[in-house]
Amino acid sequence: MKRASIVREKKYYELVEQLKDRTKDVTFSSTKALSLLMLFSRYLVNYTNVESVHEINEECAKHYFTYLMKNHKRLGINLTDIKRSMLLISGVIEVEVDHYLKDFSLSNVTLWMTEER
């Protein structure tokens, strides 16, 4: 295995552990929470330069949620999982997500126009 792959894998596991340690009480299964945290960690390792949970900011979370909306079919997640992910991650990194991303109603023109791009 290439050194870069090993480094990324190590960073991935470190991020998962850091995020798990910060997880507060969740209202859904801990298995689902862990899978959502793992998906977020995979995104961080592959698409950002984040090295630790302390480096994750609101902008990074916003980009991640946009990524989820654009790739939900490929990732095999549904709108419920995206909502859960938003609640979980905003709680873990203690940031507020833009309000339009929380509203999945058909009347949310901003969300669906973003989705089509």
Joined tokens for residue 15: 């991020």
Cβ 67 vs Cβ 113: under 8 Å: no
Neighbours of 39 (CB within 10 A): 19
Report d(CA 46, CA 63) in Å as an integer.
13
Domain range holding 13? 3-116
* pLDDT at position 93: 79
Number of domains in the chain: 1
Low-confidence ranges of the chain (pLDDT < 70): 1, 95-117
